[in-house]
Amino acid sequence: MNLNAPDPTVKLVGLLRERVRLEKFHRRVLYLVFAVLWGSGGAWLISEWLKDPELGPTRTALQTLSMEIHGAIMIVYVAVLGTLWTHVRRGFALKANRLSGCFVIGSNVILALSGWVLYYLTDDGVRRGSSTIHWVIGIAVLPLLITHILLGRFGSILSEE
């Protein structure tokens, strides 16, 4: 028996004592990247709705720019999501915000898959369906993320009392 090995109970208690809330810098980076991603997607969607129908599938300059920004910041966003593994692990260990967290994770998976379809597949019918799924979930993810954040803050206030 190795006496220098950490006791699993001590490790678990240490994990449970750690705060689930992200560090201030980490939150700010996540919120900024999310805001640019959501805003660029929203700009594309609004410009699509306001576009002259006679243009057909032709993209406007705003659509092209917003799509380029959306694609580029998506790469950063996926990297930032990867940094949340400890946050997710802690939340699950504490049984904190599991439902809203799973919805946020699931929404991001659906957005990634539907975005992949939009970028790589050429079948118009599949792209139309994927586009609708992508923008509906994309719009919904903002209030979902805000709800997750508020539930986390509200829950931490209750646990401190």
**Given pLDDT bands bounded at 50, 70 and 90, which one contains residue 161?**
very low
The answer to whether position 87 is within a domain reads yes
pLDDT of residue 63: 92
CA atoms within 13 A on the CB side of 126: 11
Hey, what are 152's tokens? 């986390």
Q: List the structure tokens of 54.
A: 């006679």
Confirm whether 45 is domain-assigned.
yes
Residue at 1 is within a domain: no
Q: Which of 144, 32, 136, 141 is nearest to 97 (CA)?
A: 144
Tokens 């659906």 map to which residue?
A: 110
Is residue 76 situated within a structural domain? Answer: yes
| Residue 13 forms part of a structural domain | yes
Q: What is the pLDDT of residue 20?
A: 77
Q: What domain range includes position 27? A: 8-160
Q: What is the pLDDT of residues 22-56, one digit of tens each?
A: 889 999 999 999 999 999 999 999 998 998 888 87
Task: Indicate whether 3 belongs to any domain.
Answer: no
Cα separation values, 106 from 44, 63, 64, 125, 153, Å: 23, 27, 28, 24, 21
Residue 99 within a domain: yes
pLDDT per residue over 91-122, tens digit each? Answer: 888 888 899 999 999 999 999 999 999 999 88
Residue with the larger pLDDT of the pair 17 and 62 = 62
Query: What are the helix (H) ranges across 18-123?
Result: 24-50, 61-82, 85-93, 98-120
Whether residue 2 is contained in a domain is answered as no
Q: How many domains does the chain have?
A: 1
The H-or-E segment that residue 135 falls in is helix 124-160
Q: What is the DSSP letter of 161?
A: -
Note the pLDDT of residue 160. Answer: 44
